[in-house]
Structure 1
Amino acid sequence: MDKLLYTAVSGASRTLEAQAIRANNLANANTAGFRADLERVQHHQLDGVGQPTRVLAQTQSAGTSLSSGAMMATGRDLDVAIQGEGWFTVQVDDGEAYTRAGGFTLTDDGLLQLDGRLVMGIDGPLQLPEYRELEISKDGSVSVMPAEGGLTEEIGQLKLVNPDSALMSKASDGLMRFDGGVAAPQDEEVATVSGFLEGSNVQAIDELLASMNLGRQFEVQIKLMKSAETLAQAGNRLVRGS
């Protein structure tokens, strides 16, 4: 009975963790640039007397789906999307991090930012002067026409990277990082398009169906726990009766 109960508890715990991942994905179905989390489970075989017996589910750190999201036209100058593979670079406390979100804003000092983090250019954080017109070209070059008019001038270039995804992992803040904090080099092959945002790659229907299936699995595990309790009570009665 203890083995049955332990197995059921292990399964229920894994199911709850998987439900949390699915719930987070659904909550970010409309978050620009969001990359869906993937549950990862490894089987763990327990050795019994004579032959291996039980196989339990052991949850691993969540993976990340790197498929592209749908392009959404906004017409806003500071909205930028990456076409194909690649990442924008933002400044974080421990160096650099990478994202597909491109809904940039400006600070009062003209610094380009994303969700409160400075957006990195190839020479450091990008700072824009007061301008009348703004253009972000395909290679990430940022050009402005001064507020007083005149010729358009290039003031910097977005740092666009495309490292090996196997060397990156998603942190709790939703940004991608290298394991060990290594900074990725600029990749001239990464292309951007201005006036667009890339949507989340979450497939809402698939996530909802997966959540429903996980709910059913959890109910099965609870029933197994109750069965283990019933068997234990029956065994105790037999022992007392003897």
Structure 2
Amino acid sequence: MDKLIYTAASGAQRVMEAQALRANNLANVDSNGFRADLELVQAKQISNTRVLSQMGSAGVSASKGELAPTGRALDLAIFDQGLFAVEANGQEAYTRSGQFELDANGQMRIDGRVAVGVEGPIVVPEHKEIFVGDDGMVSITPAGGGIIEEVGQLKLVNPDFDTLLKGDDGLLRLKDGTVAAMDPEVSLVSGFLESSNVDAVTELVASMDLSRQFEVQIKLMKSAETLAKSGNRLLGNI
């Protein structure tokens, strides 16, 4: 009976963690460039006769979202595979979100974080027009007109998704703590944003299935309690 209740409790805990993961995916269905977390369940052997379930390190979906036109020069989307590099808490991290902004000093940022350039942060001076090439090169037409000037190139990387881990801030980092190298093969397009790659229908169906699994685990715990009470009554009558 103790084995039953601990097994059921382990299953219920695993389901609750999976529900939280699915809920986070659904909450970000409209977040540009969001990469869905994947559920990973592992079996943990306690003894020769007991195996409990537990959530492992969640993987990240590498599937692509849809590209939506915006017409804004600093809205950037990556074709196929690749990531933008940003600075987060003094470390380099990666994202597919391409909604760039210029701060008061002209520094390029993504979601408030400094965008990493090939030669460091990119600072854009006063300008009439701004352009971003498919290789991430940022160019401007000076405010007073004249020849187009290059002001920096965005760092674009393409590490294997199996080597990445998503942090609590939603950014991706290499599991070994190193920095990804610039990949010249990564290509982007200006005037578009990539949508989240979360499939809302799939996540909803999975959430409903998890709810049913949780109900089963609760019933098993109640059954274990009933069996324990029955056993105690039998022992009390001996």
TM-score normalised per structure 2: 0.97
For 1:2, the equivalent position in structure 2 comes to 2
1:12 and 1:165 mapped to 2: Cα distance? Answer: 30
2:42 aligned residue:
42
- Higher mean C-alpha deviation, range 176-185 or range 199-208: 176-185
Give the AA of the match of 1:40: L
8 Å CA contact 2:77–2:189 kept in 1: the answer is: yes
- Matched residue type, 1:41: V
Residue 61 of structure 1 aligns to a residue in which SS? coil
Cα shift at 1:137: 0.8
Matching residue of 2:217? 221
**Partners of 2:39 and 2:138 in 1: CA distance:** 39
Aligned match for 1:162, one of 142, 155, 158: 158
Residue 112, structure 1, aligned to residue 112, structure 2: no
Matches within 5 A, 1:193-204: 193-204=189-200
Hey, what does 1:100 align to over in structure 2?
A: 96
CA shift for structure 1 position 116: 1.4
- Map Cα deviations across residues 139-159 of structure 1 (whole Å, 9 max, x no partner): 111111111212211111111
Q: After the TM superposition, which of the residue ranges 183-192 and 15-24 deviates more from structure 2? A: 183-192
Task: Give the drift of 1:96.
Answer: 0.6
CA distance in 2, matches of 1:105, 1:46: 52
- 1:132 aligned onto 2:128: yes
Q: Is the 8 A contact 1:81 1:102 kept in 2?
A: yes
Task: State the Cα deviation string for residues 154-205 of structure 1 (Å, max 9, x = none).
Answer: 1111111112222221111111111243111111110000000111000000
Report percent identity of matched pairs: 58
Task: Give the root-mean-square deviation of aligned CA atoms.
Answer: 1.0
| CA apart distance, 1:45 | 2.9
Alignment of 1:1-242 (within 5 A): 1-47=1-47, 52-242=48-238
Residue pair 1:95, 1:181 contacting (<8 A) in 2 also? no
Contact 2:59 2:162 in 1 (8 A): no
What number of residue pairs does the alignment pair up? 238
Q: Distance in 1 between matches of 2:162 and 2:8?
A: 33
Per-residue CA shift, 1:63-87, capped at 9, x if unaligned? 1111111111111111000001111
Distance (whole Å) between structure 2 residues aligned to residue 58 and residue 94 of structure 1: 33
Determine the C-alpha separation between the residues in 2 that align with 1:19 and 1:151.
Answer: 55
> In structure 2, what is the Cα distance between the partners aligned to 1:91 and 1:125?
9
Gaps of 5+ in 1: none
Q: Is the 8 A contact 2:60 2:161 kept in 1?
A: no
For residues 51 and 159 of structure 2, what CA distance do their matches in structure 1 show? 37
Q: Give the residue type in structure 1 aligned to 2:24.
A: N
Structure 2 counterpart of 1:225, one-letter code: M
User: Could you tell me which amino acid in structure 2 is paired with residue 4 of structure 1?
Assistant: L
The separation in 2 between residues aligned to 1:65 and 1:215, in whole angstroms, is 23
For structure 2, the 5+ residue unaligned runs are: none
